[in-house]
Amino acid sequence: MKRKYLFLLAILGFLPKLLWASEPEQVLTGVYLMNLYDLNLDENSFYADFYVWFKWKGEIDPTGIEFVNMVEKWGMTQEPFEDTIILLDGGWKYQGFRVEGRFFHPFELQRFPLDRHPLELHMEHPDYPASELVFVKDTTSSPIYYRPELALAGWELLGAELLTKTHNYETDFGNPDNPAINFSDFVFRFSITRPVSYFVLKLLLPLTIVIFAALGALLFFPSYVDARISLPVGSLLTAVFLQQSYADALPDVGYMVLMDKIYLLAYGLIAAVMFQLILTGNKLQRFKKKELDLHRLKIRERKMAAFFLAVYFIGTLLLVFFD
């Protein structure tokens, strides 16, 4: 009976060691962004200059990381903080790097010019799966993740965050003896967006002026046929040039962006104005002026102009908030 108790005590004493051994080594990881520049929408990439550091207590050295979404690896620079790993109070080991390089990000432009982009840096250790090594957010350091003076021309900075994910490689890479493995994927996400003023003042305001000019044709007296028809025709040509001016700054995409849909609405309204002017002009040619109630026709077209203007503003709001 005594032997049974001794055996049970031995198992209970050894069990915590087994449970501890089965847990992956956790590495406290932090990032501090210094510079972000050269956003290339055509090549879906950006340059980043940042610090990254690691604190750990296990036997595995986590500093041999790989930046999964880095491109042009030949141009990357990675300078360590120290020549060797530092020992901190509490038994922590510490090392870090300053990294600069170009990274891949698929820019989705469906919401242009109100598009937002979560630029990400993905870090993994290629030699240790998630069952052995896990990168977690360093909560012992300051929660500031980028330089306060950091600015990116033409963009607003929305903030940054650190995330821990698991990257599942659903392949054996051609080796049936090598099953699919999960790796700890540490992500630094930095979100940016275009200023609303860019959309309102540089894109929407000129188009709105063009729409007002086109609708102004309906305010002319119906007998001024030549002057009336010239306004929507000129507005149509101006709208085409305005759309081309911002489209040249975008990469070739196989879908319509938000601004394209607003322009499509504007084209429809200009076409409707031209159609109404043609109908009125035909009536003037078919009937004598004395047989037409021009005053009543003028009032009806002014109401139509107000209706078209309301359609433009409501349609634009619906596209902006619900598209």
User: What is the secondary structure of 34-98 as a DSSP string?
Assistant: EEEEEEETTTTEEEEEEEEEEEE-SSS-TT--EETTEE-GGG-EEEESSSSPEEPGGG-EEEEEE
- What element of type H or E holds 163? strand 156-168
Place of tokens 């847990």: 23
pLDDT for the residue 11: 44
pTM for this model (two decimals): 0.85
pLDDT for the residue 283: 80
**Residue 296 in 3-state DSSP?**
helix
Q: From CA 58, how far away is CA 63, in angstroms rounded?
A: 12
Please name the fold of domain 197-322: Methane Monooxygenase Hydroxylase; Chain G, domain 1 (1.20.58)
pLDDT for the residue 284: 80
In this structure, what token pair is assigned to residue 12? 């209970």
* Each residue's pLDDT tens digit, 232-284: 999 999 999 999 999 998 998 989 999 999 999 999 999 999 999 998 888 88
CB atoms within 10 A of CB 77: 10
Instruction: Answer yes or no: are the C-beta atoms of 96 and 168 closer than 8 Å.
Output: no
pLDDT for the residue 288: 62
Under the banding of pLDDT at 50, 70 and 90, the label for residue 147 is very high
Q: What is the CA radius of gyration of the chain?
A: 32
* Each residue's pLDDT tens digit, 171-186: 878 888 777 789 999 9
In the chain, CATH 1.20.58.390 sits at: 197-322
Q: From CA 302, how far away is CA 282, in angstroms rounded?
A: 18
The β-bridge relationship of strands 25-40 and 133-137 is parallel
DSSP state of 219: G
Under the banding of pLDDT at 50, 70 and 90, the label for residue 296 is confident
The residue-averaged pLDDT of 23-35 equals 95
Mean pLDDT of the chain: 89
**Residue 201 in 3-state DSSP?**
helix
Peptide bond into 222 cis (omega under 30): no
For residue 2, pLDDT beyond 80: no
The residue-averaged pLDDT of 287-300 equals 74
Sign of the CA dihedral with 238 first, then 257, 160, and 104 last = negative
Domain covering 24-194 assigned CATH 2.70.170.10 in the classification:
yes
